[in-house]
Homo-oligomer: A and B are copies of this chain.
Amino acid sequence: MDFAPSLEKLINEFSKLPGVGQKTAQRYAFKIINGTKEEAEAFAKALIEAKDKIHYCSVCGNYTDEDVCEICKNRKAEIVCVVKDPKDVIALEKAREFNWGYHVLHGTISPLKGIMPENLNIKTLLKRINDGEIKELVMALNPDIEGEATAMYIASLVKPMNIKVTRLACGIQAGSEIEYTDYVTLTKAFNDRKPI
């Protein structure tokens, strides 16, 4: 059916969000239409402001609206997790058991997609290591070809700088069933088996 043009436009904007189809976009748009004018304005303002203010932290590359993000400001991190995306920081923060820090690469090396090392946030990582605070880099990159290649590349770069380089363990997932675990994971879990 034909919606009123301004409603159609709003539905169209919502449907650009990841995983949002026409029907969900309609639902969201109706929520806005049924809300107050102030609510719509607050939403619009939040959109503009977030886009205006959010940029990369000059130290770690995570999102921040200041020069240096809260994590870099407040944590003296000797162990730094190297991640692909700010989303990975969120996941790791949930798991955090002590004060590790982060370094966000904003991608992984992928010659096919035209992403080369110089397109990644690696320079500031080297600077951080040179500054001498970091004792260990933990490669927290996805266990796929691009993640492994990037981890290897960075490891080869920083090893001469005399710091420890590790990566997250690969193995069976917490709560999973061995019956349904793929053989690559099982092989890795077997190879990395630990004494009990």
Contacts and interface: CB of A to CB of B under 8 A. Distances in A.
Interface stretch (A59-67, A109-117, A145-153): A59-67
Contacts of A120: none
Contact of A47 (B24, B43, B50): B43
B31 A54 contact: no
Interface size classification for chain A? 35 or more
A13 interface: yes
A93 B46 contact: no
Interface string A1-35: 11111110110110011111000101111111101
For the residues of A in contact with B, the DSSP-based class is: helix
A19 B27 CA distance: 9
A45 B46 contact: no
Contacts of A9: 46, 49-50
